[in-house]
Amino acid sequence: MAFMKKRYYLFFFLILSTFIFNCSKLKENKTYKICVIIPSNGYEQILNGLKESIENSQYKGKIELIIKDFTIANNEFESGIKNLKEQDFDLFYTVTTPATVSVYSIIKNKPIIFTAVEDPITAGLAESFKKPKKGITGITDLGKVLITKRLEYLKLAFPHVKKIFTFYNRENGFSQLVIKDLENISEKLNVKIERIDFASVDELRRRLKEVKISGIEGGVIVPDSIVMSGIDDIIKFSENTKLPISVCDESFVNKGATMSYGVDLKEMGKMSFIIIDHILKGGNPEDLHIFVPEKIRLVINNRWAKDKKYNIPNELIYLADKVIE
């Protein structure tokens, strides 16, 4: 009888070991599917940073990114997200505030990681930076805070500026809030703001052709998916009119914008991989606080300024993290 018991326990142990081994093997061979909701233009560096982190990790070859274009003007977006709800994704990865808010209102059965969200608390995604809501967390780009600093740096670089354009999407409620903050700080800086608002890239292009620049001495963008999709047109407008423009990311300065102050989008993509790793290992999004990028970079295109006969003060040149000569 004792011999039979030993044989039974040995057999049970072998079966259990085989099961655990096979489960482990299945997990090792699993391909994780991440649905990425991102605007088609302007935020490519976030995706590049994420891909680079995946490529240099133990998940190389084990994560499939399914890219879905998000455009605020797309009326079919909400129905499209509802269709994605039932698909076999391990998590959703969203870029920008409107995309994140839309996805979070519909997707309740899968983890959500966000990036490039200006103010997660105002957007209803968190009670505080330390306490995101259930099923979601991510990285803020501090857009609501940094927009005022962009105007301040533009004024420091070009002290003569008394009136500027601001480019923004009028149908984006979060951009409306940012505009109010920008107008509040502009009064203190003795700078008047003339709004250039639009609801599509085509309308932006029309506005840029029609706008009268008399008395205007610079510009600041309020980034969102529509503005970012038309950033090349805004940079070309700045070049043709010789008006300095302050933008949100270094990559746009490399394209010809005058200056930028903001977080590094590529680094934001890399940072988000920490959250992805946490979730794929079984963690909950809300267990992690909302990440705040530590490094904010000021980049100045002094070559552009010199070409247009502007002299940016040396104090600001020395302060910049990068100067293009």
- Whether 318 and 192 share a structural domain: yes
Q: Is residue 4 part of a domain?
A: no
- Whether 269 and 204 share a structural domain: no
- Whether 196 and 316 share a structural domain: yes
Helix-helix angle 143-157:173-188, to 10 degrees = 40
Q: Rounded mean pLDDT of the chain?
A: 88
- Whether 302 and 184 share a structural domain: yes
- Whether 257 and 272 share a structural domain: no
- Whether 38 and 91 share a structural domain: yes
Q: Is residue 157 part of a domain?
A: yes
Q: Is residue 285 part of a domain?
A: yes
| Predicted local confidence at residue 74, as pLDDT | 54
Which CATH number do you get for residue 184?
Answer: 3.40.50.2300
Q: Is residue 291 part of a domain?
A: yes
pLDDT band for position 80 (50/70/90)?
A: confident
DSSP tag of 287 = G
Q: pLDDT tens for residues 207-258?
A: 999 988 889 999 999 998 889 989 999 999 999 999 999 999 999 999 999 9
- Whether 155 and 193 share a structural domain: yes
**Residue 323 pairs with which residues in a beta bridge?**
300
| Predicted local confidence at residue 173, as pLDDT | 85
d(CA 109, CA 24): 25
Structure tokens given for 272: 């988000």
State pTM to two decimals.
0.84
SS3 for 217-268, per residue?
Answer: CCEEECCCHHHHHCHHHHHHHHHHHCCCEEECCHHHHHCCCCEEEEECHHHH
- Whether 134 and 207 share a structural domain: no
Contact at 8 Å (CB) between 157 and 214? no
**Which range of residues forms the domain containing residue 134?**
11-141+265-295
- Whether 79 and 198 share a structural domain: no
pLDDT band for position 86 (50/70/90)?
A: confident
- Whether 78 and 190 share a structural domain: no
- Whether 122 and 194 share a structural domain: no
- Whether 153 and 105 share a structural domain: no
Q: Is residue 289 part of a domain?
A: yes
Q: pLDDT tens for residues 58-73?
A: 999 999 999 998 765 4
Alpha-helical (H) ranges within the chain are 2-29, 44-55, 77-84, 97-106, 143-157, 173-188, 201-210, 225-229, 231-241, 250-254, 265-280, 302-307, 314-319
User: What is the count of structural domains for the chain?
Assistant: 2
